[in-house]
Amino acid sequence: MPEIRNPNLDSRGPSGGGGGGDMRGLMSFLFLAIAAVIAFQLFTKPQSPAPEQATQTQKQSQPAETAPAPTQSPSVNPVGTEKKTSSSSKTPSAPQAASTVAASSESDYTVENELYKIVFSNRGGVVKHWILKGAQYTDAPGGKQLDLVDEQTTGFGYPLSLYTYDASLDDLLNKAALYQVTVSGSGAQGHALVAPGSISFHYDANGVNVVKTFHFDASYVVTADVSVQRNGSPVRALISWPNGLGDQRNWRQYETGKIIWSIDGKDDNIKAKKVSNGATTEAAYQYAAVSDLYFAAAFLPDVPSRATVVTLNHGFEALSDASNPNSEKHASAVLGIAVGDTSGVTRLRIFAGPKQSDVLKSIHAMGPDGKPNGPNLEPLIQFGVLTVIAKPLYVILRWVRNLLGGGIDSWGWAIVLVTFVFNLIMLPTRVMMMKSSLRMMRIQPKTDAIKRKYAHLKINDPKRQEMNAEMMKLYKDEGVNMYGSCLPMLIQMPLFFAYFEMLENAVELRHAHWLWLTDLSAADPSHVLPILIIITMFLTTYITPSPGMDANQRRMMAFGMPIFMGFILFQYASGLALYWGTGNVINLAIQIGINKSSIGKEMHEIAARRAAKKSGKVIQGKK
């Protein structure tokens, strides 16, 4: 995101022995590659984000008049409470002059439809709770409905608070001011509103006049209209979501945060560690959002050409285990965003909810004609560099789930069925690998003879080039492709990683059931799947012939790798473990079938012959 000069002030704070084609070596390569990626994500501690300064100073359009520049940013300590370091950081008292428009006491107002329940406070006109309805959006630790307002980080602000570039004015508008509230709509009853309808907040005192109006319908989208004036002149006031999302309960979840946006139909994103705090950008934003794996808060300006976006990044010491207050803490990044209009009057739509494909496809940004026919919000679902593979897998999984009736266990059975079909499609490559391995095993005595011929040479001796030439000629004469057993695996690897990304980012798996599993996005509480993975990996390795493999290496593969992968998946989403376990069961069945085939029998015969030769024994009828 390009950064420009802050419109209201100069700064707002810092921003071997066997054939080279042996199948076991290839499987080892695959398992190690996948294990390395998963282990890196699981065990790497994040570094605290380094604040960045805005680097570009290009001047953009300015509002008619802006608030005076504060001497410093409002300061917040790592646990989200105010620091009392200067008088400017203290919450000012709301003036009560004769012409004041303000409430006399603090009170809450609720708005709800079938999708959410929002609780506003007239103190600051901010959102205290944004609760999503639906069994799939419960908050796992307490079984309550998920609140998108992150209670751990409200010291950085509440959703729908205002950002004006003036710390003291922000404190007044968001903490001290008691707004008069008007609730309208056919479902309005006192301090409660059942959508459709609207709720308006008005505050006017000592030359500061603020009106915040929010309109609600039956969807996840809320329409906002905000105007702030000081001494009769407009102040550029942005609507903000400053404190992350409520499902971010530990440091790993905070680290999944991103800022995602679309400018002139081009989507892009930036990860948490690279987000500048307080950086202002003016561009034709069709939407800008703060997002994690499963949920997002997105702002869609009514006039993209006049959009202003400020990125927020607060340091926070997050627990490694949210359910254990004594668990280790890690430096984390709490992302937020503020969006407004350069005219000084902000009109936009706000989506706050799950990153569910059908929902996001139905919400469109404003197009060039001023109608909501621009890009939709589906790009909020992020599958990483393998999106081109992961997205079709996601679509197929949803289609199979619907085909199965969409019942409570449908997502689990869809994973099982898609994994079965996936392995069936990959079966020819598995057979190709076995045939290539068999050819390499057949000519291994010849390759060993060539190696012995040049064994006396040092590793850097130029004559070793002659050995390589002899090897290549042997492969050519015998019709062996030395890469024949590698290429099928290389074809499968992107599919494995794409499956991993797809399952990790699908909100539909959150609290989805399958047999004994109550949440496919959480680890298997009974550890049945990790144990199954360990057993099936061991059996598959044990029954797969590998005559060229060293005994120690074989033991490592047979015991070490299954235990390591099982340990990793003890803590990963059970949906991923279900996919992996299903694939392991299928691979075990395939290997049993191959062992009974002519290829398998010949491979086992060669393996037995070589094992007997190494032990000094002779098999009857064989030499």
Residue 516 clears pLDDT 50, i.e. is over it? yes
Residue 28's pLDDT is: 52
CATH topology of domain 45-51+100-382: Beta-galactosidase; Chain A, domain 5 (2.70.98)
Rg of the chain in Å (alpha carbons): 31
| Rounded mean pLDDT, 259-284 | 91
109: confidence class by pLDDT, cuts 50, 70, 90: very high
| Rounded mean pLDDT, 121-125 | 96
| Rounded mean pLDDT, 179-190 | 93
Three-state secondary structure along 551-579?
A: HHHHHHHHHHHHHHHHHHHHCCCHHHHHH
| Rounded mean pLDDT, 257-264 | 92
- 368 and 342 Cβ atoms separated by less than 8 Å: no
Domain ranges of the chain: 20-44+383-441+484-613, 45-51+100-382, 444-479
184: confidence class by pLDDT, cuts 50, 70, 90: very high
Residue 332's pLDDT is: 85
The SS3 assignment for 51 reads coil
| Rounded mean pLDDT, 527-540 | 86
What's the mean pLDDT when you consider all of the chain?
78
User: How many Å apart are CA 180 and CA 123, to the nearest integer?
Assistant: 9
Residue 464 clears pLDDT 80, i.e. is over it? no
Residue 220's pLDDT is: 96
| Rounded mean pLDDT, 53-64 | 34
- The sign one gets for the Cα dihedral 501, 506, 510, 514 is negative
Residue 610's pLDDT is: 65
The SS3 assignment for 604 reads helix
- 338 and 159 Cβ atoms separated by less than 8 Å: no
Residue 259 is encoded by which pair of tokens? 């800022």
342: confidence class by pLDDT, cuts 50, 70, 90: very high
- Return the residue matching tokens 């008691």: 178
Residue 118 clears pLDDT 90, i.e. is over it? yes
13: confidence class by pLDDT, cuts 50, 70, 90: very low
Between 498 and 323, the more confident residue is 498
Pairing verdict, β 126-132 and 116-121: antiparallel
Percent of the chain predicted with pLDDT > 70: 75
- Residue 256 gets which letter from DSSP? T
CB neighbour burial string for 214-245, b if at least 16 within 10 angstroms, e if fewer: bbbeebbbbbbbbbbbbeeebbbbbbbbbbbb
Residue 524 clears pLDDT 90, i.e. is over it? no
Residue 593's pLDDT is: 83
Q: What is the pLDDT of residues 470-496, one digit of tens each?
A: 888 887 777 777 666 666 667 777 877
Between 87 and 96, the more confident residue is 96
User: How many Å apart are CA 603 and CA 548, to the nearest integer?
Assistant: 11
Residue 205 clears pLDDT 90, i.e. is over it? yes
Residue 313 clears pLDDT 50, i.e. is over it? yes
67: confidence class by pLDDT, cuts 50, 70, 90: very low
Three-state secondary structure along 2-47?
A: CCECCCCCCCCCCCCCCCCCCHHHHHHHHHHHHHHHHHHHHHCCCC
H-run or E-run covering 180: strand 180-184
Residue 41's pLDDT is: 52
Between 436 and 386, the more confident residue is 386
Residue 597's pLDDT is: 75
| Rounded mean pLDDT, 573-593 | 85
Residue 309 clears pLDDT 70, i.e. is over it? yes
Residue 95 clears pLDDT 50, i.e. is over it? no
Q: What is the pLDDT of residues 127-163, one digit of tens each?
A: 999 999 987 787 755 678 889 998 888 999 999 999 9
| Rounded mean pLDDT, 104-111 | 95
Between 268 and 510, the more confident residue is 268
| Rounded mean pLDDT, 393-419 | 88
Residue 553 clears pLDDT 50, i.e. is over it? yes
Which pTM does this prediction carry? Answer: 0.74
Residue 70 clears pLDDT 50, i.e. is over it? no
465: confidence class by pLDDT, cuts 50, 70, 90: confident
| Rounded mean pLDDT, 557-571 | 69
Q: What is the pLDDT of residues 363-384, one digit of tens each?
A: 999 998 889 999 999 999 988 8
Say how many CA atoms lie within 13 Å of 18 toward its Cβ.
Answer: 24
Residue 595 clears pLDDT 80, i.e. is over it? no
- 57 and 7 Cβ atoms separated by less than 8 Å: no
Residue 505 clears pLDDT 70, i.e. is over it? yes
Residue 294 clears pLDDT 60, i.e. is over it? yes
Amino acid at 485: S
- Residue 175 gets which letter from DSSP? I
